[in-house]
Amino acid sequence: MLENERHWYSSEVKSLFKRLGTEPLVIELDELGAQGPQLQKVLERLTGQYTVPNVFIETVKLYHKGELEPLLAEATAKSS
Per-residue pLDDT tens over the stretch 25-59? 899 999 999 999 999 999 899 889 888 888 888 87
Q: Is the dihedral of CA 56, 38, 53, 4 positive or negative?
A: positive
Number of other CB atoms surrounding residue 49 within 10 Å: 13
Question: What CA–CA distance (Å, rounded) separates 66 from 79?
Answer: 22
Whole-model pTM: value is 0.65
Looking at every residue in the chain, the average pLDDT score rounds to 86
Q: Into how many domains does the chain fold?
A: 1
Print the domain residue range for 62: 2-79
Q: Give residue 59's pLDDT.
A: 79
Would you say residue 71 has pLDDT above 90? no
Name the pLDDT band for 72 (thresholds 50, 70, 90).
confident
Q: What is the CATH number of the domain that holds 75?
A: 3.40.30.10
Can you tell me the distance from the alpha carbon of 12 to that of 4, in angstroms, rounded to the nearest whole number? Answer: 12
